[in-house]
Structure 1
Amino acid sequence: MTAPTFSKIAAALAVLMVLASCANTIRGVGRDTANAVNATEDAGHTVKKAAQ
């Protein structure tokens, strides 16, 4: 295997790793946002019950 070929393969693998990391980060942010929304809704229900 020549050096330029090895460099191209290594670069392609690095790009794949970066893209996979981005996908995991986006999924994690989505889960965190959903949890924050759920917690806010629960807090609103609790305040509503306390006010009654």
Structure 2
Amino acid sequence: MKKIVAALFAVALIPALTACNTVKGVGKDVQAGGEAVEEVAKDVEDEITE
């Protein structure tokens, strides 16, 4: 019985670990997008102040 419970726990844990990687990946994508917007805003600011 303990082996069955352990196997079910392991199977239930796999999607949770995958979700963590997905959320981490989305966070990195959002960060990269924010950095791109920041760079464009700085370029526009530089053009305006010249």
TM interval, shorter chain, is 0.7 to 0.9
TM-score (norm 2): 0.76
Percent of pairs with identical residues: 22
RMSD: 1.6
Q: Which stretches of structure 1, 4 residues or more, deviate above 4 A after TM superposition?
A: 4-7
Partner secondary structure for residue 9 of structure 2: helix
Aligned residue pairs, count = 49
Distance 1:37 1:50 in 2: 20
Give the unaligned 5+ runs of structure 2: none
| Higher mean displacement: 29-38 or 8-17 | 8-17
Relative to the length of structure 1, the TM-score reads 0.74
**Partner Cα separation in structure 1 for residue 44 and residue 4 of structure 2:** 60
| Counterpart pick for 1:9 among 6, 11, 25 | 6
The runs of 5 or more residues in structure 1 that have no matched partner are none
